[in-house]
Structure formats: structure tokens, C-alpha cells
Amino acid sequence: MLKQMHAVLPAADLARARKYYHDVLGMDAAEEHEQGQLLTYYVDGSAFDIYQTENAGTAKNTQLCFGTDDLDAEMRTMRERGVVFEEFEIPGVMKTENGVVTDEESRTAWFRDSEGNFLCVTQRLDAGMRSGDRSPTDAQMGGGM
């Protein structure tokens, strides 16, 4: 039976990726494997690996999505650290406004890491925020996702 899962991201330059994840996202690798050619990161009960390969940056799809309780604060911090959020439109499906797509269940922003991987950060919306109030509730400010 399948039990656990985690994402695996490619990096053309593993040292550059390690620096990006530390400096920009505030994360440090918890483990190193294969003589330092595979880094494992743990985030709130989940994990992802980064490994060195020439195939980095070739995917055109979202490869990893982080959750947050306060998307606006995360984006502000990330922008201060140099992150540029993607602006795009998929006609009839979604369109970003100031880097964010809002739907009935969430607000999501996409960006690329130092290796060209397409990542996102998303905030699930409670019923109050779905009805049009975009200010964080007490549960969102203090509760985990």
C-alpha cells in the first residue's frame, strides 16, 4: 500500500538552489543524500527533494505549491526578497490580478525559483472570505493549514 508522498524538483545548479531556498524562502535542507547531490526539505509535515540535473526549468506546469494562512504577507516578504510573481490569463478559466488568482476556495500566486521551477503559494478561503471580505480572520491568522 502506498503511504507517503513528496515532490522532487530539479536544479541545474544545486548550490544556487540551496542558496535561493535559504535566502528567499527561509528554508534549509534537513538532509543531504547521494554525496550532497540530493537535498531534502521538510515543511510542516510534508517534504520535497531537490536534485541536480540538466532537465531543470523545462516543466511548464506547477511543480510544487506551498500553503499559507496569509497570502498577502507571504507575497510582501517574498517580493522584498526578489521574487517576481507571474501574471497570466487562461481565457474563461483564470486570470491573475496583482499576481493572484482568486476562486471560490483559494487565492493563489505563482512564481519561479532560481532553477526555473514553477511554484505557487496558496491560501484557502473560509466562508467569510469567499463572500467578498478579503481581510484575514482570526482563525487564519492563528490556525494552521
- The residue-averaged pLDDT of 38-48 equals 94
In the chain, the domains with their CATH numbers are 7-139 (3.10.180.10)
pLDDT digits (tens, 9 = 90+) for 2-25: 888 889 999 999 999 999 999 999
Tens of pLDDT, residues 24-37:
999 999 999 988 88
Average pLDDT, the chain: 87
Share of the chain above pLDDT 70, in %: 87
pLDDT tens digits along 44-91? 989 999 999 999 989 989 999 999 999 999 999 999 999 999 999 999
What pLDDT shows up at residue 5? 83
How many H helices and E strands in the chain? 4, 10
pTM: 0.81
Strand order in the sheet with 118-124: 64-67, 118-124, 106-112, 101-102
Predicted confidence (pLDDT) at residue 1 exceeds the cutoff of 60: yes
* 8 A C-beta contact, residue 57 and residue 115: yes
Distance CA 44, CA 42 (A): 7
